[in-house]
Every structure is written in C-alpha cells, then in structure tokens.
Structure 1
C-alpha cells in the first residue's frame, strides 16, 4: 500500500467569501473556498483545487490578462503570487492592510490594490534586464479618500483608475504623471459607493451606491459656457443622469461589461437584474434564492455571468441570452457528518447536519444530485454491495433507502418507538439493514424487501456509537457502544447470543476489515485496538495520543502541546487490503498507520486556516491582554457597518457550533468521517473546511531497478515498429513514461492482442489493467479497450482471483468504465436503430413515389423550352419557380405536381444562347 498521498481536490463547498473571476478566455471560473482557490472548467465540466493554503480566508483574487499569474489576498492583507498554469507558488507578500479589491490593468503591466483608504499601484512581476525576478515593486500610492476604498477599476487603455470608497465618493487617478490634472473627486451619493466603471469610450463614468442609486457622469463644460471659446471653457466631470433601482433590499454588488454596455446588480434578498446602459433599460430580473448575492463577475465575451452567495455557499453561472444555467452548485449549509464511496470508486456521498445528502462525482468534482427528504441531521450513509442502492440514517427517526439509478427514495424504515438513529449498516447481500441509536440500547433490524422490522438486538448497556458489516458473504455484524464493549452478531443464525469484547474505555468508532476476519475500534483514551473475530482475541493495539496534533483555541492560555482536548480518534477506516488504517477526530490531524508493523506511516494536517479554532500551536503573548484573548473583545461598536461584525460570541461554553442564528461563531477544525476509495488510490475526509480528497499519482513513481542500458524510449519505439510487441510493452512499463505506454498500447495490432495478453508476465498485468482503466473514460477506442480487457482476464483469471488485492484498483476503474461508457454506447445503438428504420422507410416511400410517377408516364425532360420562352415573354412565369444549385428549376406541371429539371449548367447556357 503506497503512502505518498497528496491533496488533490476539495469537494462539498464551492464558494465561501470574496470575489470570483473568469479566466481570460472565459471558460474557467476561479472561486475562493475558505483559504484555498477552486477552479471550475465550464467547458470540460471539471473542477480542481489549488494545493496551496492561506493562513486566513481569502477575500480578494485577481488573474492577469494573460492568464499566467494569480494573486490571492487573505483578510490580513497577506498575498500569495501563483503561476496559474504551472500551479506553483512564486512569492509571498504582506500589504500590511486590509485589502478589499485588486485588479490587473488591461495591458497586464500593473495591478491596483484597494488597501485601507489608499489605492496602491504595483508593477506586475516579471523578469528584469539582469534576469532577476522582481515579484513586487510598488509604482505609486494614491491618497485622497477619508474612508476605506471598496473597489478599484481600470480604464480600457490602462491609463486611469477609478476608486470607490465608503466616504460616499469616487475618485479618478492617472497612472502617468502628465495626466495629473485629471485627478478629481466624484461626490453626490448618500451612501457607500459600491463600484465605479468607465464605458468603452471612456467618456462616461457610472457610479453605483449601496442605497440603489446610479449616476452617469460625462466630461463636459460648465453650464452657461457653451458660447465661450474652447480655450476659455471649464471642462469637468458632471452628473448627466440619475437613476434608482427601487429594490426592497440594499445593493450588495455590481459589475459592468463595457463592450456590450451591460450592467448587472445584485441585492441582499437574492435578486439580480440586468440593465442596458446608458438608457437604463431593464433586460432581466431574476432571483437566486432568499439570501444575498455576495459577488458578481462576467466573462470577456459578456455571455456568462457568475454569481456567488456567501450565506448559502452557492455558485451560479448564468447565460443571460438563452436564460439558462451553465453551472449551479451549492455545498452543504452545515457540517458534514458522514461519507461513503460507491463500490466502483467513481462517486462520494456526503451527509450533513442540514438534512441533505449530496452525491459528488470524483472526476468532475461536481454535485450530481441532492436528497432532502430527511427532516433532521443525517448521521450515516452506506452503500449496498452493487452500488445501486444507498441507505441513510437520521435523527428524524427514519432510515431511508435510495435508488441511485432513478434518484428517489423507495423505502423508509422506522422503529416501534420514536428514536434518533446515529449509525447504519447493510449486509453484503443488501437484504438486511440495521441501525443503532444513542437513545435506545437496542439494534434495529429490517428487511429491505418488505420494510418490516425483523428484530431488535438487545445486549448493550449503553448508547450504540457505531455498526459495521464486512464485505464477504455471510458477514457478521459488529457493534460498538459506550458501555466499553464491542459485540459480534450473526444476523442469519437461529440464536442471537453474542460474546462481548471488553475494552478499557468508551468506544467511539468501529471499522470491519473487508475480509470480515478482523475489526478495529477506537476508544476515548486515544487507543485503537484490533481483534481477531475467529479466535476472539486481541491482535494489536496502537496508542494514538502521541500522534495527534491538537492545536490551541484562541481562549486557551497554554500551548497545543499541553492541551488534553481531542486526544482520541472519532472515525477510523480500513484500506481495501486491510494493511493500512486511517484515523481522525476532533483535531487537526489525519493519521495513516501501517498495521503489520504498527507504525505511523504519514500524518496529514487538515488545515492551516487560523480562523478555525484548533490550528494554532504556540501561545503568542501579544494576543493576550489582561488575561483574555484579544479576539474575544467585543468591538462591534467600533465598526461602522454592522454587517462586518464577524466576531464570535462564545458566551455558551462547550458549544462546538455556537449559535446558528448568529452565523458568526468561530468553528473548530475537526474531521467527522474518513473513508478509503475502493480503487486504493485515494481517501477522503469530511472536515470543517469541506470534503478533502487525497490521492496518489502513480505516474510520478519511477523505479530504476529493472532498467539496463538497452531500455530506452528509442529502443522501445524500435521494438514496436518491428512488431516485438511484448518487449515493447515491457520496456515501456519499466520506463514508466505514460506517453510511451500509451503509444505502445495503441500501436499493437488488433489481431495480436490475444497473443500479447496471453504471454504478458503477471507482474505487468495489474499495471496494464490500471492503465486501461485510467484512459478508457476518455479514449475513443472502446472496442479495442474491451478486447484487451477480455483477453487479459481470460488469460490471467486464476492469478487475478488469487491476488485480488493487487488488481482491486484496476478492476474498479474498469468497472467504472463499463458502467458509465458502455451504457452510452448502448443508447447510441438504439438511436442508430431508430435512424436506420427511419431511413429505410424514407427509401421505400421514395421508391413508391417513383413507381407512381412512372405509372403516370410523366417524363421530366418532355417539358419543352419554347413554352418556357413564351411564358417569359408573356411574364407568366410562376413565382414558386426556384433556381436550384445545379441550374435546374422547380415548377408545376400540367397535373399540378412539381418536377425538377436536371439539366446541367452548361446545357442551360447553350440553350439560352440558341
């Protein structure tokens, strides 16, 4: 089992706060998700998350016009410069002030930053003449505002800058010293100026304020000076028109597309409108919900508009011309409680406190479906063996079965009394589903077919914390409880007696090994204990207290090393081969253990976000005043805008989530659930930040042991050219170059596939199956891939059966390919059948028509030319006659039917000359 897992994607949340931007070509959307940045490819329907982190939530991002440099800034003004194409961090910088807006100039040479009440212009990082990289060089600082600057905007020629401020004014600044005279203050609004824009000609300025007023400014002479000479006129920016939006809620954000003169505004009640300027004509008025629109962005072509809502964590991309949604994604409103991988590893299901269940696609990173039938928090989700049915438990007292083909709830299981279910499990055959509760000490057993309550398993003397089945047939049920015992139940046996396994502390989590011969249980004292089910004895024990990273909270007066909080694991999971176990809990660490050697393989930090409780390690005395943390001081009276009060209210000790009505409590960093992918190349963790996905990239692994001096890419291609396919594919796998393996794989002739598959050494069989599974989803050679799969499994079936753990990853990938791609092929086949039937019927109809025409003895060529000339002279040519592409014409015959003259162009010209 490989341990070089790295962060690959963040699911479960799509937008947190800050502005969103489109890529220069308008096909990708960049969204800040907490202290990370997610990128949504709207053309290829994929998403990924950049792997770097800020120490606090990101509030402003900007992408240069070339699409190569990304600049992200957090709440403290700390910025990170990233090479967007290579996805690598180039430089860190601190603006030492709160930054509300950042924007690159259209020519890409400078960028403007709204830092406090100043506008700072910096040169875009580039290579200097001495080939030294100059990341941040400040060009100029502009002052004049008396309050914080809310937004900055560039003119189209990159010469002028417009700034909007909370002092209810907008100002014009010039980048060049020769244009200093253009500096001017645009006043007249009665509330904050949200943003200001130039139009495409730069002769008109629009300023939009928070109270819903928009002013149109033009550079004109003073009234009454129209008759004066040009050199004596006083030119300045003056208000030409005032318009108002008249909305029930305050204006939150706006943007302007100068090429199409399109203005988009968003309000606090979720409403957004599209106006055509300068006529101020309302084009569309829609709503994205009852929560406010936090940010708006429009792509370069002006076709797609992106909206972000901070309250719901919602992200929309709207095509306003067709009035359709390109993207509509929303994360969980509350913390996630459970996750489960589908058996083929292509999807992840998450359950949350908001009562919703979401299905996420691994490849695209998008949410495929949302179930909201539960009336309370969903506490557990589990798949049946085939992956077409899913079960969920909830605090509303129900266990529901979901059909993942039709996406509907088809069974609902309840108990004889109203109890809240905290865990759920299903046997491998999918016939029995069980659930446990913290209210009742019994385990409820239902039949999936009849929905009847079959039995209540009694024996535990405390609340049941977890239930687990194995993956093998006739697997037994393991149940963990707070009574410091784990019991093994044989559901299908006549007697329901069980012998308990005694532990030293309360059981928090339980996981059954896939072969159903061993289980692991984590307890309150920080230990993970392993038991052999067949022999009924303890196999090993791991003490995880020393491996856990528990950060300090902001009210703590001690360092994280002295903290006793969260020193245990609340969720554990086995790998597919049973040799590795991952564990996590209410702390900032995910631990991966090697079970045969009982050692810690790797430890992952969940988050570096300092806005979460539990991420800090050391005590800083500057944050402690009079024995209290500075962050706990209530400064709401000092804030000019009540909406900016994000200070936490910790008057309720021991609360993990705080007052949900306030939505301002500082959350804790913790992991609620972990799970290994069946393909063994990834695992997921449901955390406070979202659904973290860690994966291992096999293409980066290089093993030089099998190499000799003759194994080179040139020799590999030479073997392929000469028809030595077996040597070529073996050399390609030794070099482990993906492009080379792909070229050799597709270069083998179809007739030789069976021979190569039969003679292929078994050491390369799992690697070849994994490779086929990785390319099959995007490859056009469906039949060729299926031919390889068939021959490999036929030739090496016995070896695959004996060594399932080696082939699990490749077989899962192939299963995903067959289930997702072949279904599309079958549907296309049906469509082709319908099309062929339609064409056959059309041919029969045409032949029947020709036979009728021959029966009527109508000959098209008998239409005489003199009659046509006579009609032309008399002007009686029918208006329905049309010149066709070959020079013929359509016209009515004597019987009222239309016939076609099939004369060629040359014949027609010669006839006209005669």
Structure 2
C-alpha cells in the first residue's frame, strides 16, 4: 500500500479569527482558519486550503492588486508570502511585533503594516526582472516608518493614486499620511471621536474622508477653509484644513460597532454590531438601505467585493462565514463549523461525503469535492458520540448522550427512525449490520448491548456479559459477527443471528478503547488504555501480533506538564483505529498531535503524520520556552481579561464551572484526534482534530510532475503538436506538465476515430492518470458518448495489465465503475420518463414526425430534410 499521503484539504471549520479577503475579480473569498488559509470559490462552489501552515493562529491577510501574492501574518508577527495560483511558499519573514492592519497600495508597489502604534511601509516583494538587468530577489525592503499614534492601529486605507493613506487607531483619532514627502503637505490628525476609531476611508474623488468609531459615530470630513479665515483667502493657504462637515450616528440600544467596510465606487457603508445586526447605508446622504440580523454574537469582520454586490461577514464565536448579495437579499455562501469539538467521523460508502458529529449535538454532512457542508442535522439535544453508515450508503445512524439512536435518510435529509432504551442511557458506541436490518449500541451507564430492528424500531434483545461500560462496537463486513470492547479488559465476539447468542471473551491487560474489523472479516484490531495495539484472529480467538505504541503516540507537551514530551510516554494511547481498504495497514490516533500508520503483517510504523504545528494549541511543541514561565505560571495560561481597556471586554460572561465551548474556555484548546477514517478507495483518509477535519490524499491534485521534462515541453509546444495531429505526443506532454485545463483541451481535441490508436500506444506509466482523468470527465462534462468510448478503449486494450496491477489501479477502477453505473441509471430514468412520448412519435405519420422534430429543436421549416431512417429511430 502507498503511504505518501499529503495534506489535501481542511473541512469542518470555515473561519476562526482574523480578516476576510475577496480576490481582485470578486469571485473567491480568503478566510483564515486557525493557522491555515482556506479559499472559497463562490462561482464554482468549491473550496480548498493552501498547503502551508503558520506556527500561530493567523491575525491578518492581504492580497496584492494582481491577486497572485498572498501575505499572511500570524499573532506573533511572522509572515508567509505565498504564490496563490501555484500554492507555493515564496518567503518567510518576521515583523518583530503583532500586526494589527495590512493593506497593499493600489499601485502594487508598496504595502503598509500597522505594528502596534507604528505604521511601516514596505516595498512589494518582486521577482527578478531580467529585462532591466536586475537579478537580485529582494523580498522585503522597508521604505518608511510612521509614528504619531498613541495606541494600536486598527485599519489602513490607501488613496486611489497610492500617494496618501489613512490610519485609524484606538487612540480616538484617524491620521492622513503621505507615501513620499509632498510639497506643502503636513500629516494631519482627525480628532473628535469619543471612542476608538474602527475605520477611515477616502471618497472616490478623494475630497471627503469618512471615519467610524466604536460608539456608532460617523463623521464626514471635508477639506475646507477655517471659519475664521478671511473671505479672500486662497485654497492653498494655510487656513485650509480637514474639518467635520457632517455627523451621523447609528442608533443601536446597547450594541456597539464591531467592524465596518466602505466601497467608494458604490458609496456603500456596511457596519456590523455586537448584537449580530448589520446595516447598509448610502453616503453621503446616510440613507439606510438594509438592516438585518445574521447572528446573536459579534460580527467580527466585513468586506465588500470588487463589484459591490457581495458582502462577506464572519463571526468567530460560532465559526460562521456568510456571503450576502444585498440587492437580491439572498445568500451566496452560508457555512458554519462545529461549535464544540468533534467526536467521530465516517466516510460514505461511495467516498463522496464525510460525516462529522460533535459535542454540540450537530451532525454535518461535508461534500469531499466541493469542501462545503451540505446539510446539518440538529435533532439531537446532547453530544453525538458515534456515527456509522449502512452498507448501501443512503442511511446514517448516530448515537448520542441524550439517550437516542437516530437513523437519517440522506436522500430526503430527514430523521426517519429513533431508537431508545427502556431506561435513560447515554450511548457511547454504535454498530450497524451490513444489511442495514439491525443496529446495536453500547452505553457508559449500562454494561449491556442493546439491539434494535431498523424496520420496526423495536428493541430486539439486550446482550449481557460485560462487567464494565461498553466503549466500542463493530460488525464484521460479512455480517456474521459482532465484536464489542469494554472497560472490563475484555473483547467479546457475538454471533447474534445464531439460536444461542454466546460470546467468546478475549482477555486483555487494560481498558479497551476501540475495536475495528479487517475488511475480510478475519482479524480485529484492538487499542487499550496502556498504549498497546493488538491484532486478533476471529476464527481462532487468539492474538496474532501486537505493537507497543506508547512511544509512537507520545509527543507534544502542554504548558502545565511537569515532564518533557519524551518522558510522558506511558500516559498516552490510541483512542481510535481503522483498517485501510485493502486491510494491509491500520491508522490510529488519540490525544496526541500524531497519527500513526502501521503495517499489519510486520507491525512496523510505516508513517507518522503531524496533525498540527500551531503553538496556539496545547500539546504541539516538544520543548517549553523557559522565558515564558512567570511567577504566576506559564504566560500563555494567564487570564489577562481584567486588564482590557474596555468595560465589555473585562466582564466575564461565562457560567461558573462551565468548560464546554470555545466561548467559555479560559485555557487553550488541546490538540487531539478523536476520530480517523479511510476512504473506500484507499486513496485518502480524514482525521477529526481540534482544528477541524483534515483530509490527507495520495492525489493532491495540484502536484507538478517534473519527470521526463525538458525545455521543449511547454504549453505552446503541446498545442503545436496537437495542431500537427500528433495526438499521442500532445496528450503525453500535457500529462507531463500536469495542467488540468491543458489536458482537457488536448483530450477533447482528439477525434473519435483516433481514440483506439492513442490508447493502444499510451505508455503504461500514464494509464492510471488517464483513466482517472477520463472518469472525472465522464462525471462532469456533457460529452457522454465520447467519454464512454475512451473508457471502452482503455478497458478493452489494457484490461489484462490493469488486472495484474489491481492494487495500484483499484481507486481508478472504482471511479470508472461508479461513473458507468451513474450514467446507466440516468439513461434508464430518462428512457422511462420519455417512453410515452417516444411511442406517440412512432405512431405518427412521417410528415407529422418531421414537423414535431422541427418544433422541438426550434428549426425553421424551410431547407430541413429528415432522413427516413432517422425518423424511424425516433
């Protein structure tokens, strides 16, 4: 089995904290998710996460005007410069201070960074310009430093000509600065607000400045003469000053302004408030256009896209991300992650959906291809502890601490069956018979296993035998055996469909945490509290092998740990374990930053995946920094809420004794992996972590293949080969460059008569990629017959080779099988829907059929001749 899995995408979380960005064309939204950046394509309804990761949570994002360079800065002031289109990190840099505001100049030459009370101007990083003879790559060069503010700079806005910029600060003022020394210009301070200024903007003609403060005051500033100046004073006289022309106020009862955004071209001002309401005004008249509520919590950030039609809102307390089209009053994007930590995950049998369940009682269905949450179920009133699919894939079962097992229809998206026990129990484990007829659940309150009938919803039986809470359940894939793990140090094998329901106990040395069946139903994997991972034969009820995984799972030190990460090996264990699709490997995770992949036969650790390097989480660093240790304890755990300057920030609104939920947590969240799952194809796996749902894949999608490349292989030479009708050469060159648009262009340009010739001579090294590409095209493109001809040619010509290399081709063959089945079902449905129409057309005379066909296709009656044979075919 291949083990070179790489990070592919981040689901389960759409926003953490920081600012949002629209791409220059306004079609993509950049959102900081912890220490990573997710990009949401709002037109194609897809999302992906950039592969780099910061060492802390991201505080600021900014894009250059061309949209190809992304500068992201974390809470420590460390920046990463990324090429967005290539998804490549270009440079790492440190600003040596917390960055509170970032903005690129419209010209693209400079960007401004607010670092505490100072503002620094930097030249935009540039690549070597060979034409000018400049061969030096100078990524970050500082231009100027501006001082004058007395508190943190909160926003920076540039003028359209990049000569001036505005800064707004917590010191109740906004200031006007010049990029370079201007004749007669003196930096100007705009004072008059009674609370911190959140934003300042130029009007389109740059003759007016608008400022908004936290207390809901909007000031309009004009460049005018002093009232006491003589009437004959000239405009360039010293009496010209920026002065307040109008004052407007947002009347919200006890709410304050938390964020604001202004679009000079459309004159729209959007403000967000602490009570979850946003308001849209048109300036300078201050005419209110909309007033809507989108949340019960603070709106953290607002941004407007280029056309001014879409507004993006974010709320960190609930992890919400919204894109609103204000003219049509409709949502373009509405996503929200889990409020509490995830407990369990499950792949759908076809591998296109991932289910996540969390302590907040919500069950979310995520689409793997788009990265979006499709539906959220909220019927459970307590934490969801387990979820599992029926074999057919359209029915999902979940277990919850509220004492219910629920069955969900994922076609109609409804809860169609609820199972409960005679007494109130908190269910913690779940197993579903592969036929979907029986569902079993275990509880931490009762030592029995409850069995229900899915058809009737009635409790069929209660299996007794365990002397401790049942922690894990699993059905064998062939449906003949149920395995249960308990805290009583035993694993029991049950044959529940036999006349006598006897169990075979397997004795272990510690509490059982998780059990899993191998796909061939002949072996089970068991993880225990003492850090052991053991493999047992089902037929012989004997242990075949074992792994001491304590050293592998150990790693990461919390700020309160008294021992180093190396010496804490005996206290950690795997909480979850899953077999791969072919049964040769197992994937295990627990309360650690590591996910381990083991080879079953040899017991060797094949690969170790580091879940996160985010220092904002507990347990991600191996060594603690003694400089951060104070007399009161670790600096990261000190509660500095009482030192805040604003009253509402000092008030502690948490309930006494409450620990659940991000909003009530005073300590930092700890890194943990409560669930892992392999995709049915074996080409990917996902892991539920503190930061979200991480997807690792063998097909990273945007990998550049440099093999067999030389200077002659370019997109231009590929298209030239295609124009010369060298179809095989052009297709191979396109695969070498690995640009999807180029491959598709060459693929669709190959004539139907030449498909067999191209497939016959195709090198075997490109067959998996070609088959996978054809399967994707058959799924997305409308060229039905064309794609089927490619599939037929590949399978008929190279079927024997694919059979011999089935292990490497299994994922591709499953994709092709799924596509063909879908096409078959759609064609059958289409024929069933039109059967009466076809019968009616056949019974009509030939002239009537010709007229009907002309009307159907919108053709003119003149000059159209329909062949008799085609008429009969219709």
Cα displacement string for residues 285-317 of structure 1 (whole angstroms, at most 9, x for unaligned residues): 111121111000111111111111111101111
Long gaps (5+) in structure 2:
853-874
Aligned-pair CA distance for 1:640: 1.3
SS at match of 1:242: strand
* CA distance, structure 2, for counterparts of residue 444 and residue 802 of structure 1: 45
SS at match of 1:360: strand
- Structure 1 pair 17/566, CA: closer, same or farther in 2 (3 Å)? farther
Aligned-pair CA distance for 1:172: 0.7
* CA distance, structure 2, for counterparts of residue 250 and residue 823 of structure 1: 56
Aligned to 2:579: 574
Aligned to 2:193: 189
* CA distance, structure 1, for counterparts of residue 736 and residue 111 of structure 2: 45
Aligned to 2:239: 234
SS at match of 1:785: helix
* CA distance, structure 2, for counterparts of residue 844 and residue 477 of structure 1: 65
Aligned-pair CA distance for 1:94: 1.7
* CA distance, structure 1, for counterparts of residue 455 and residue 621 of structure 2: 51
* CA distance, structure 1, for counterparts of residue 705 and residue 370 of structure 2: 28
Q: Which moved more, 1:682-691 or 1:511-520?
A: 511-520
Instruction: Select the residue among 153, 157, 160 that pairs with 1:149.
Output: 153
1:816-855 map, 5 Å: 816-817=818-819
* CA distance, structure 1, for counterparts of residue 237 and residue 661 of structure 2: 65
- Structure 1 pair 125/403, CA: closer, same or farther in 2 (3 Å)? same
SS at match of 2:134: coil
Cα displacement string for residues 790-812 of structure 1 (whole angstroms, at most 9, x for unaligned residues): 67778999998999755541243
Counterpart check, 1:672 vs 2:674: yes
SS at match of 1:111: strand
- Structure 1 pair 774/95, CA: closer, same or farther in 2 (3 Å)? same
SS at match of 2:86: coil
* CA distance, structure 1, for counterparts of residue 818 and residue 333 of structure 2: 24
Q: Which moved more, 1:829-838 or 1:88-97?
A: 829-838
Cα displacement string for residues 589-612 of structure 1 (whole angstroms, at most 9, x for unaligned residues): 011112222211111111111111
Aligned-pair CA distance for 1:447: 1.1
Cα displacement string for residues 357-416 of structure 1 (whole angstroms, at most 9, x for unaligned residues): 111111110011111111111111111111111111111111111111111111111111
- Structure 1 pair 416/769, CA: closer, same or farther in 2 (3 Å)? farther
- Structure 1 pair 746/62, CA: closer, same or farther in 2 (3 Å)? closer
Cα displacement string for residues 77-134 of structure 1 (whole angstroms, at most 9, x for unaligned residues): 1111112222111222222222111010111111111110111111111246632111
- Structure 1 pair 61/736, CA: closer, same or farther in 2 (3 Å)? closer
8 Å CA contact retained: 1:648, 1:664: no
Counterpart check, 1:26 vs 2:31: no
* CA distance, structure 2, for counterparts of residue 348 and residue 276 of structure 1: 43
SS at match of 2:279: strand
Aligned to 2:588: 583
Counterpart check, 1:604 vs 2:604: no
Aligned to 2:532: 527
Instruction: Select the residue among 156, 162, 173 that pairs with 1:158.
Output: 162
8 Å CA contact retained: 2:557, 2:620: yes
Aligned to 2:445: 439
SS at match of 2:674: strand
* CA distance, structure 2, for counterparts of residue 734 and residue 94 of structure 1: 39
Counterpart check, 1:416 vs 2:422: yes
Cα displacement string for residues 841-892 of structure 1 (whole angstroms, at most 9, x for unaligned residues): xx999999xxxxxxxxxxxxxxxxxxxxxxxxxxxxxxxxxxxxxxxxxxxx
Instruction: Select the residue among 455, 458, 462 that pairs with 1:449.
Output: 455
8 Å CA contact retained: 2:639, 2:666: no
TM-score (normalised: structure 1): 0.84
Aligned to 1:639: 644
Aligned to 1:509: 514
SS at match of 1:563: helix
Aligned to 1:72: 72
* CA distance, structure 2, for counterparts of residue 6 and residue 645 of structure 1: 43
- Structure 1 pair 750/453, CA: closer, same or farther in 2 (3 Å)? farther
8 Å CA contact retained: 1:647, 1:664: no
Cα displacement string for residues 482-533 of structure 1 (whole angstroms, at most 9, x for unaligned residues): 1111111112111110111111111111111111111101111111100111
Q: Which moved more, 1:125-134 or 1:748-757?
A: 748-757
How many matched pairs? 838
Counterpart check, 1:220 vs 2:242: no
8 Å CA contact retained: 1:173, 1:180: no
Aligned to 2:475: 469
* CA distance, structure 2, for counterparts of residue 797 and residue 178 of structure 1: 74
Q: Which moved more, 1:306-315 or 1:486-495?
A: 486-495
Long gaps (5+) in structure 1:
849-914
* CA distance, structure 2, for counterparts of residue 206 and residue 20 of structure 1: 21
Aligned-pair CA distance for 1:439: 0.9
Aligned-pair CA distance for 1:167: 1.0
- Structure 1 pair 607/110, CA: closer, same or farther in 2 (3 Å)? same
SS at match of 1:291: coil
SS at match of 2:215: coil
8 Å CA contact retained: 2:280, 2:289: yes
* CA distance, structure 1, for counterparts of residue 435 and residue 626 of structure 2: 59
Instruction: Select the residue among 117, 138, 142 that pairs with 2:142.
Output: 138
8 Å CA contact retained: 2:480, 2:497: no
Aligned to 2:432: 426
SS at match of 1:181: coil
1:391-406 map, 5 Å: 391-406=397-412
* CA distance, structure 2, for counterparts of residue 829 and residue 428 of structure 1: 32
8 Å CA contact retained: 2:361, 2:384: yes
Aligned to 1:210: 214
SS at match of 2:185: helix
8 Å CA contact retained: 1:210, 1:252: yes
Which structure would you say has the larger Rg? 1
Aligned to 1:46: 46
SS at match of 2:780: coil
TM-score (normalised: structure 2): 0.88
8 Å CA contact retained: 1:99, 1:113: yes
Q: Which moved more, 1:95-104 or 1:122-131?
A: 122-131
Counterpart check, 1:328 vs 2:330: no
* CA distance, structure 1, for counterparts of residue 425 and residue 127 of structure 2: 67
Counterpart check, 1:307 vs 2:313: yes
- Structure 1 pair 616/698, CA: closer, same or farther in 2 (3 Å)? closer
Q: Which moved more, 1:233-242 or 1:816-825?
A: 816-825
- Structure 1 pair 254/714, CA: closer, same or farther in 2 (3 Å)? closer
* CA distance, structure 1, for counterparts of residue 331 and residue 58 of structure 2: 26
- Structure 1 pair 2/646, CA: closer, same or farther in 2 (3 Å)? farther
Aligned-pair CA distance for 1:228: 2.0
8 Å CA contact retained: 1:728, 1:744: no
8 Å CA contact retained: 2:530, 2:570: no
- Structure 1 pair 175/744, CA: closer, same or farther in 2 (3 Å)? closer
- Structure 1 pair 22/731, CA: closer, same or farther in 2 (3 Å)? closer
